[in-house]
Structure 1
Amino acid sequence: MKVLIVGGSGYVGTHMAQHLLERGHQVTVASRRGEGPLSGVRYVMADAAKNEGLLEAAQGQEALIYLVGIIRERGDQTFRQAHVDGVRHSLAAAKAAGIARFVHMSALGTARGTGSRYYETKAEGEELVQASRLDWTILRPSLIFGQGDEFFGGILKGLVTAPIPFIPLIGDGRFVFRPIWVGDVAAAFEQALGRPNTIHRSYNLVGPKEYTFRELLLLVRDTLGSRKPLLSIPLTLMDWVVPLISPLPFSPITRDQYLQLKMGNTADPVHMRHAFALEERSLETELPKILSAKRLVGA
């Protein structure tokens, strides 16, 4: 199948493009840079948020995978541009180019009324996809781990290795997560392309095991060989501090990220397992490689 990945030059997109290639698909990646690391992939320049180059990239394609997403707003990159405008423009380009199949990456926890602008714009993007007349599927991954990721290889590693004598823990750290391996995410997207029973359906993508935030921090700490103790930062203090530091460019956590952490991120895997045949690789298996690797450019 000829597959166009919009926003496929970053961490998840690179893994997904590689997986699609290995399954025999012809892959085109559209991104603002118009370049990437994989041989065998056709890279083209396009900006989904500004609706530049999308229609040209979509010509001759049979399916479109929309991956554009950001977890932190920077400069002119806003949640609305990435999660709403880009979706609207990609749907229009698909229709104009005669592409019927549209597979959309949302996020586990996406819903209206959460107070998180990330989730609110993700929900708006989902509504646009559902209202289209395309053969859509929406996939909502939990935290995605793998070589080059930002959460485990960036945020949690940074908390453990910061030049302070303790590891800061948000509250009691009991917020629950069910992270999923990037290879399983790529496999779910690829399988959805060829399974008509997934059309007009949404799926939560989660890993095989639940962890509290505290357990994740300890797992990263122990894997890195650190002996630092965890120091709980009361939520009452975090609730006051985070809104103050969130707008700063060097802030270690934004208001949206803080809200999402407190909500946790987990779901029942039964529906996912019924639809897709995934390896469900464990976090413990991949974590040593994640923590020793450099983050991918554009992740």
Structure 2
Amino acid sequence: MGVVGFGGRVLVVGAAGFVGSAVVGRLVGLGVGVRLLVHRVGVPVGLEGVEGVEVVWGDLGVVGSLRGVCEGVGVVLHLASRVGGGWEECRVVNVEGTRALLGEARRAGVGRVVQLGTAAVYRDGVHRGAVEGELEEGPVSAASVTRLEGERLVLGAGGTVLRPHLVFGQGDRWVVPSLVGLLGRLPFWVDGGRARMSMVSVDVLADVLVELALGGGVSGGVLHVGHPVPVSARELVGTVVGELGLVLPSGEVDVEGALAWLGGVGGGGADAGVRRLVSLLAVDHWYDSGRLWGSVGVSPGPRFSQAFGRYAEWYRQQL
């Protein structure tokens, strides 16, 4: 993995987040100068006073606060998004904030923009080994609709958008915690645990983002990122249950049965988040990442059942 071939810094937007903190640690370890755009929180833990680390205050939701953030920058890593709140709140950050950031990058002559996107922008349905450009985009939630709009702005500016499906590892506050919560309410396998899904560890994802930032891999367009071997729901649940000392499901229900159990007759009482989780355990959502892995010098590492163990203690402490 080489060092950036320009004199500028790497601007990391979302530096204190789940993925951003892992990315920053790698850039600092490589001796790359970084500028961290922080919002609400202070300097990320462990980076106070570190040589080569510059912190600026800014808010994607307040476009005026972004003025000048890209001066002297060679690459922008856009890793921030709004995933909660209503339509206007999400639009202000994910669309208008991205538009303003790209405007600053253009004015400063930034050569490369890499954004962390999401496979949630695809129309819901059965996804089996699709390559980039094959699936129809059609999200429905405020977060995913506005994130797609932001992605299109980045792509229109010649940037690269990386789309993972599920990300696990230290700092994960959604994937495994939500699964554990669901298992506490639903003691059955959903459709036998046969559904498969794309997953990637936060450390592998961070390695990929750094490689793309430093000039490696494909430049421009959408890239799927997930382990080459999709994870079955049975492998996912079995691994998490085994590592965290939980109770393995028994028996089997279909999707309708699961929703009925969770939300009453017809599943009407199950909220959108629960419905999404059940769908993830029952419907194939896996994507071909061959274009990415064929262009970067990063290893996807071991499959989920072998990789999860390194994070098990962290999850046990959190849960």
**Interval of TM-score (by shorter of Structure 1 and Structure 2):** 0.7 to 0.9
- Deviation of 1:263 after TM superposition, in Å, equals 5.1
1:250 — aligned with what? Answer: none
Q: CA deviation at 1:18?
A: 0.5
Q: Within 2, Cα distance between the matches of 1:257 and 1:54? A: 36
Equivalent in the alignment of 1:143: 166
Partner of 1:156: 179
Q: How many Å separate the matches in 2 of 1:29 and 1:295?
A: 30
Q: Is 1:7–1:30's contact at 8 Å kept on the other side of the alignment?
A: yes
**Correspondence 1:38 to 2:46:** yes
Which residue matches 1:184? 204
* TM-score normalised according to structure 1 size: 0.81
Question: Could you give the per-residue CA deviations for residues 7-52 of structure 1, whole angstroms, max 9, x where no partner exists?
Answer: 1211111001001112221112212124211323333321112224
Asked whether the 8 Å contact 1:149–1:295 carries over to 2, the reply is: no
- TM-score under structure 2 length normalisation: 0.76
Q: Hey, what does 1:17 align to over in structure 2?
A: 24
Whole-Å Cα distance in 2 between the matches of residues 63 and 243 of structure 1?
Answer: 47
Aligned mates of 2:46, 2:33 — CA distance in 1: 13
Three-state SS of the structure 2 residue aligned to 1:222 is helix
Say whether residues 1:102 and 2:113 are aligned partners: yes
Q: Is the 8 A contact 2:204 2:299 kept in 1?
A: yes
Deviation of 1:273 (Å): 1.4
What does the per-residue CA deviation read over 1:77-114, in whole Å, with 9 as the maximum and x for residues that have no partner? 94434432332121122123332311111112533224
Q: CA deviation at 1:205?
A: 0.6
1:76 and 1:296 mapped to 2: Cα distance?
34
Residues 103 and 193, structure 1, Cα contact 8 Å, conserved in 2: yes
Contact kept in structure 2, 1:116 and 1:259, CA below 8 Å:
no
Report how far residue 255 of structure 1 moved. Answer: 5.5
Distance in 2 between residues matched to 1:145 and 1:239, nearest whole Å = 25
Structure 2 residue identity aligned to 1:92: G
The one-character-per-residue Cα deviations of 1:242-295 (angstroms, maximum 9, x if unpaired) are 764538xxxxx3566666666543112321111112221232344234232159
Listed as ranges, the gaps of 5+ residues in structure 1 are: 248-252
Contact 1:167 1:229 in 2 (8 A): yes
Separation in 2, partners of 1:88, 1:137: 15
Partner of 2:227: 207
CA distance in 1, matches of 2:227, 2:203: 11
Structure 2: 5+ residue stretches without partners: 123-136
What is the Cα-based RMSD across aligned positions, in Å? Answer: 3.2
Please show how residues 1-299 of structure 1 align to structure 2 within 5 Å: 1=4, 2-35=9-42, 36-39=44-47, 40=50, 41-71=53-83, 73-74=84-85, 78-111=89-122, 112-132=137-157, 135-160=158-183, 162=184, 167=187, 169-170=189-190, 172-195=192-215, 198-230=218-250, 232=252, 234-236=254-256, 241=263, 244-246=269-271, 253=273, 264-282=284-302, 283-293=304-314
Which entry has the higher C-alpha Rg, 1 or 2? 2
Preserved CA contact (<8 Å) 2:167 2:199? yes
Secondary structure of 1:53's partner? helix
Counterpart-to-counterpart distance in 2, 1:44 and 1:296 = 32
| Cα 1:155–1:7 shift into 2, 3 Å | same
**Structure 1 pair 117–265 and aligned structure 2 pair: CA distance change class (3 A):** farther
Question: Any conservation in 1 of the 2:191–2:252 contact (CA below 8 Å)?
Answer: yes
1:203-241 Cα offsets, whole Å, 9 max, x none, are 111114212223311211111233343465542356674
Going from structure 1 to structure 2, the CA distance change for 1:25 and 1:151 (only over 3 Å counts) comes to same
Q: Secondary structure of the residue that 1:57 maps to in structure 2?
A: coil
Between stretches 6-15 and 180-189, larger displacement belongs to: 180-189
